[in-house]
Structure formats: structure tokens, C-alpha cells
Amino acid sequence: MQIKKQTVPVLLFNDECGVCRSIAHWVQKSAQVKTGETRMIVRPIGEDPEELQSLHPGLDIWDAYATIHLLMPDGSMRLGGEAVAAVLRNLPSTRWFTWMFAIDVFGFRPFQAILNLAYAILAEVRPIFGCESCGTPGPWVRPIRWVVKSVASIFGESHQPVPSPHFTALPAKGRSPQTHPI
């Protein structure tokens, strides 16, 4: 398998998640520099495990959907909060404050730890915003999601009952999963 070499970092995002798509759209816009070049490639994870592995041999499509992945030009891979820090470091509008993520106090990086925690919380609450592909909501998220769905149904957003709690129903129109341009 031929590995595609990149000269800028590649951010993978979950195209089936509205929150992820919005963030990816913002990153893509922010990564543009005046010369027309981009500081980062933003691409959906997609459905082809082989194609993903052509970007990085250690890239697992299941893992890519479970947590944010950033593929660095040097061949390394950043995950979770570390990936978020690397993304911010590469964006012209945010890199000015990213020095703080490198602050090291006796082997502990407090600001990076806060970022890791913030990412973990965001990853947990994504299902609240209707992302069925972001993971099964944790016990503390389920009541909040139930409230959000109930409120949405009051305003006319219908939710089809599913035969099992372990089932992701496909949209009624066009059963195949949709892909959205960012």
C-alpha cells in the first residue's frame, strides 16, 4: 500500500456529526492564509478503511470515529486534546496563545491537561446534539439527551422509535448514510 505524504497536517473529522462538521468548517476557513495556501488539510473520515490507511499505516477507521486524529507531516499522529493543541498551533489566528500548552511543571502540563479534559467533555456531550455516530452516550449524558429530544419534539422535530437501544436508525429519506460537504 502506498502511503500518501502530506506537507501540512491532515485533520480527520466525522462527517456525520453536525458539531464536528461545524468545527471542521471553522478550522478549514481559519487555516487559509492570504497567499491562498492552507496550513491544514481537513477531510472527512469516510467509509473506506484502506483509503484511510493510505494516509497513515497505523490509522484505524474505528479509532478515527471515536476520537479526533491529526496526521502530522513528520508521520506522527496526534489524538484527542493533543490533536486539538496541534490544530490550534497551526492556525494563524490561534497560535499566539498555544505556547501555554507546552508549559511543563515537574512533568505535568496544566493547560494541556485542561484542554484534554475539555475535549473529553465535548466528546461525551456530542450525542446530545443529535450525533448518533459519536458514541453511545455515557450514563450522565443520557438524561440530558432525553430532555433535549423531548424539547425538540415539542417544536415539531420527530424522532422515530428504534427497535433497540443499540441501533442507529437510518434517515427515512434515503436509507444510506448522508455525506455533507463542509
CB of 91 to other proteins, least distance (A): 26
Residues 91-130 that bind other proteins (CB under 8 A): 127
From CA 81, how far away is CA 102, in angstroms rounded?
A: 13
Grid coordinates of 120 = 473529553
Torsion of CA 9, 53, 122, 8, to 10 degrees: 0
Min separation Cβ 163 and other proteins, Å: 5
The torsion defined by the Cα of 48, 40, 20 and 58, in degrees rounded to 10, comes to: 40
Would you call 40 helix, strand, or coil by DSSP?
Answer: coil
- Residue 134 interacting with other proteins (CB under 8 A): yes
If binding is defined by CB under 8 A, does position 24 make contact with other proteins? no
Distance CA 38, CA 36 (A): 7
Q: How far is the CB of 17 from other proteins (least distance, A)?
A: 8
16 or 82: whose CB is closer to other proteins? 16
The residue from 16, 84, 85, 101 that contacts other proteins (CB under 8 A) is: 16
CA-to-CA distance for 83 and 46, rounded, in angstroms? 19
Q: How far is the C-alpha of 64 from the C-alpha of 11, rounded, in Å?
A: 10
Cβ proximity to other proteins, 144 vs 170, nearer residue: 170
Report the largest interatomic distance among the alpha carbons of the chain, rounded to a whole angstrom: 55
- Binding residues for other proteins restricted to 28-47, rule: CB under 8 A: 45-47
The verdict on 65 binding other proteins (CB under 8 A) reads: yes
Q: Which of residues 144-173 bind other proteins (CB under 8 A)?
A: 162-170
**Where does this chain touch other proteins (CB under 8 A) — which range of 31-39, 61-69, 88-96, 98-106?**
61-69
Residues at the interface with other proteins (CB under 8 A)? 14-16, 45-50, 53, 60-62, 65-66, 127, 132-136, 162-170, 175-177
